[in-house]
A and B are shown apart, each in its own frame.
Chain A
């Protein structure tokens, strides 16, 4: 079946503008994650959605970052008043957490954000 998709694949914006990044998870997956990866670095957790529970926002770096997940499926990550340090690849992953094992996360290709 289809994997996780993200759009746009690349986004160039000016400092101070708002951006929206979209993630379409694998159909039926109850959990959705957003990560940020700066050049040459590991993945930085941002936010986690699980079913109808309140999202875990513990990784969001500032109040300029927010995310929502509509209908338990598509998610949008919004960055307001972008700064140059927001430039990174934003990765989305989904998983089926109904099993007893630890998560197996399926990642999308990412959105490369460049803030000029």
Chain B
């Protein structure tokens, strides 16, 4: 039971802003949206989490429209080291099991020089 949909891949160049959108049409009232980053041969790493509107931290921004049926991870001025797979996960602290913890295939971002 897929809860999120993301583009399979994206390409960008160094210094550009990259926006990756995740669709989650069936998001529930208590669900939060969390993004993870995974480099080859490593486990995923938490990037950012939000519930509504906009969240910003030192590495990214997360934009969530009022209906919350999608979210956009924004990476400002990407560098080669941002080449990775990015996963969107939707759920709340009560969620467990296959339905809530299916990361999907993620979005493979390739940054070119």
B93 and A107 within 8 A (CB): no
B98 and A103 within 8 A (CB): no
Q: Is A48 an interface residue (CB 8 A)?
A: yes
B residues engaging A (CB < 8 A)? 31-32, 34, 36, 41-46, 49, 87, 91-93, 95-98, 101-106
How many angstroms from the CA of A33 to the CA of B95 in the assembled complex?
Answer: 12
B93 and A102 within 8 A (CB): yes
> A108 to chain B: which residues have CB within 8 Å?
43
How many angstroms from the CA of A108 to the CA of B45 in the assembled complex?
Answer: 9
> A35 to chain B: which residues have CB within 8 Å?
101, 103
B98 and A105 within 8 A (CB): no
Known: A102-B49, A102-B91. A56 touches B97 (CB 8 A): yes
